[in-house]
Amino acid sequence: MPYYGSEDTVKELRRALANPGLQADKLRYRNLVLRVIRYMTQGLDVSALFMEMLKASATVDIVQKKLVYLYMCTYASLKPDLALLAINTLQKDSTDPNPMVRGLALRSMCSLRMPGISEYIEQPVLNGLRDKASYVRRAAVLGCAKMQTLQGDAEVDGAMVNELYAMLRDSDPIVMVNCLRALEEILKHEGGVVINKPIAHHLLNRMKDLDHWGQSEVLTFLVRYKARSEDEVFTILNVLDGFLKSSQANVVMATTKLFLLLAEDFPNVQMDVLERIEGPLLTICTSECHELCFLGLCHVREILRSLPGHFSGHYKKFYCTYSEPNYIRYRKMEILRDLVNDENVQQILEELQTYCTDVSVELAKMAILNIGRIARTYNEKCVIILKGLLGLKQEHITSAVIQTFRDLVWLCPQCSVIVCEALPGCEEFIKDCEGKQALIWLLGVHGEHVPNAPYILEEFVDNVKMETSAVVKLDLLTAIVRLFVIRPAECQDILGRLLYYVIEEELDMVVRDRGLLYYRLLQQGVEEIKQIICGPRSDPSLGVILGGQANEAINVWAKDFNTLIPIYGSEHWNCIVAQKDSSFGNLLSEINSKTESNPEHSEELVVDSGSISLEGSIQLSPEQFEEFWTCLEDAQVVTVDWDKDPCPDAIQTSFQVAHIHPIAISRPGARPWKAYLFARNETGALFLTELLIDTSKKSLQIIVKQKNTSEELLCSFIDVIRSVLQTLGETENFEMASLVTQEQPSPH
């Protein structure tokens, strides 16, 4: 037996596939084809067997056909010439009497990702749309979407779109759902499938015929429909009322979102819906599937933004279990924190206290942090628990408690005395930088309540030479200076030793400069340093911002319900969406690779134009520029007064000096006159620019587009363009004025 992965393996498979004896034995021949597929899925390159596998497709065995077609779809892009030979076989199978064979051939034909395939599959797809077998129609409908994807930016076939809209009334419910998916893909550049009143009512009437996946899909599309009257709203709600009690989580979530959006003008209805889904959501949150459980918890947190105590009667459902992963336990603790009230505060605090001694250090810290958040409302009970945790004398627990104390006294100054009573002795069990910073800050700001505060800080001063964190040294300097103002006799010697070390021996220039600053302030007198160093000790108003926000209206977050936004957060999700423009990313990577591989530009030239640095070596073809320009939205439009005929040579030369490269420039005297430019900064951000001069209006319009728009970068780049144009204006003895920045859509 040849070694797996060697060329001998492929040679043996070729000999076996060409063996007439094996071909005559159908079972052994199919097992041999299955063996090829197994090697293919395990990573072995078996593309050399394409011709032998193509011959294996000439069989009445549907299982063997399916295996061979899977092989062809995988290697068609690598063997385009040989793949064309399979087209005849697939076209023949698309007219086979067996509907399973017709559907399989149609699906495989649309999955051959190779150039020029569209002309071969167009007619079989159109025939499949009118096939009597529903299985074939399902494959044909999805084939329409695949065919449009293969054609790229070609115009959408209006006849095909009309055919798909008509097939929404197909007798097979799966065909109807596939039509929605196909139309959404084909019309994605036009906003997707349009749901009008007849389509919406038809979909509602077919809901009971669908499985739960089809129901959730249809409900997602129905969100786009805007009811025209109050009666229509309640009619739709009555039709879908039973789906709120569905046993499938995806149907419940999709129905809830539709209800919330349809009833956005009826707050009482929205509240009633949220109360009705309390049971289904709790079922999701206790699911054995961790991913489904996490999804439910994220949506519970969204609901609590509008109804803070909505699940308070079921707080025990959010207790953590030992078998749950930490990301679920984190979310459950956050929800428990938000469900605290006078009736359950003791039980929830006792539960969180058990998590503080968990073997997971991160989980223990998170539990302590949540107890600290509850302490903003229930000070005494939480502080007693936190002080008890200090008695465990565990390094990570002590550090987390001290950090929680620091935040608590900043937001709740009435707790400062009782917190300071617990500080002595903690310094022995704090080793991390965050814990040291918190303890030093507490001793410096509230040192008058800690009798031995100077001596605790003295231990830090004695070990300052071994301290590796510059932040800790900075906090230590500030803390001792603040404590010196309050207790000068006890801190004078400590402060002197620390300042001497910082000024004479410290290597970190930031720490040294801070020490010199304090030394010179001390020379000016105590009153002067009090005004600068002894600032506010707390900010109770910050607690309202962090933890006591006003309840948000349901309509604020309803549009994000049943999406990934509750899981990722709106800011993180926006970043993910901004990076999903695959066409832009692929082209930009291609440009970068070409630039790096060009020996003439192996050393990049970077020009510093104010706060933005532009690269001198970048290549971009007109086709790539056009594709970029089409897929990006307008970033900013600037209008500049201009009353001279442009000189293309002068403009090209001036912008090239600033490392802004022209892609196309109109000839002199053209009306209107246009120029297209591009540039890239040192971080890889690409800027596309259009200059449009309309001599009749005596203005020059600058349109700038940029991927992942950054206002600061845009402003800096526009300043560079304006500087170049200003230089051109001075050269031709005319002035530029009246710069008006407009946020308006591009004429393109």
pLDDT, tens digit, for every residue of 707-728?
Answer: 665 677 788 888 888 878 777 7
Contact present, 68 and 36 (Cβ < 8 Å): no
- Average pLDDT value for residue range 368-386: 92
**Which range among 110-124, 237-251, 607-621 shows the weakest confidence by mean pLDDT?**
607-621
Q: What would the pLDDT profile of 68-118 be if each residue is shown by its tens digit?
A: 999 988 888 888 778 777 888 888 888 889 999 999 999 988 888 777 777
| Cα–Cα dist 489/5, whole Å | 80
Which single residue is written with the structure tokens 């006799």? Answer: 489
Q: Could you give phi then psi for residue 260, rounded to 5 degrees?
A: -65, -40
| pLDDT score at 175 | 95
What's the CA gap between 284 and 288, in Å, rounded?
Answer: 9
Q: 13-27, 61-75, 595-609: which has the minimum mean pLDDT?
A: 595-609
Token pair belonging to 475: 């906090």
Do 686 and 677 form a contact (C-beta atoms < 8 A)? no
pLDDT of residue 740: 32
Mean pLDDT in residue range 27-33? 90
The residue type found at 225 is Y
Q: In which element (H, E) is residue 546 found?
A: helix 541-547
Length of the chain in residues, anyone? 748
pLDDT for residue 672 is more than 80: no
Query: Across all residues in the chain, what is the average pLDDT?
Result: 83
Give the mean model confidence (pLDDT) for residues 516-524. Answer: 90
* Dist. CA 495–CA 472, nearest whole Å: 15
Residues 470 and 510 sit within 8 Å (Cβ to Cβ): yes
Q: Which pair of structure tokens corresponds to residue 632? A: 């990006």
Percent with pLDDT over 90 in the chain: 40
What is the structure's pLDDT at 745? Answer: 36
Q: What's the start-to-end Cα distance of the chain, in Å?
A: 64
| Higher-scoring residue by pLDDT: 550, 505 | 505
Q: Output the pLDDT for position 551.
A: 64
- Quick one: which H or E segment has residue 106? helix 99-109
pLDDT, tens digit (0-9, with 9 covering 90-100), for 431-448: 899 999 999 999 999 888
What was the pLDDT predicted at 327?
Answer: 93
Residue 642 token pair: 């201009």
SS3 of residue 701 by DSSP = strand
Average of per-residue pLDDT across 201-225: 93
Beta strands in 568-698 (DSSP E): 606-609, 612-615, 636-641, 661-665, 673-680, 686-694
Residue 255 CA, chain-centre distance (Å), reads: 25
pLDDT attached to residue 280: 92
Q: What is the distance between the alpha carbons of residues 445 and 453, in angstroms, rounded to a whole number?
A: 10
Q: What is the pLDDT of residue 596?
A: 47
Whether 535 shows a pLDDT value over 80: the answer reads: no
Mean pLDDT highest for which of 6-20, 311-325, 534-548, 581-595?
Answer: 311-325
| Sequence-ordered list of residues with C-beta below 8 angstroms from that of 194, at least 6 positions apart, any chain | 187, 224
CATH number at 586-742? 3.30.310.10
Range 377-381 contact pairs with CB under 8 angstroms and sequence separation of 24 or more: 377/340, 378/340, 378/345, 378/349, 379/408, 379/412, 379/414, 379/415, 381/345, 381/346, 381/349
Distance in angstroms (rounded) separating the CA atoms of residues 221 and 188: 13
Q: How confident is the model at residue 603 (pLDDT cuts 50, 70, 90)?
A: very low
Q: Which long-range contacts (CB under 8 A, 24 or more apart) does 263-267 make?
A: 263/233, 263/237, 264/554, 264/555, 264/558, 266/233, 267/554
Output the pLDDT for position 103: 92
Q: What percent of the chain has pLDDT over 70?
A: 88
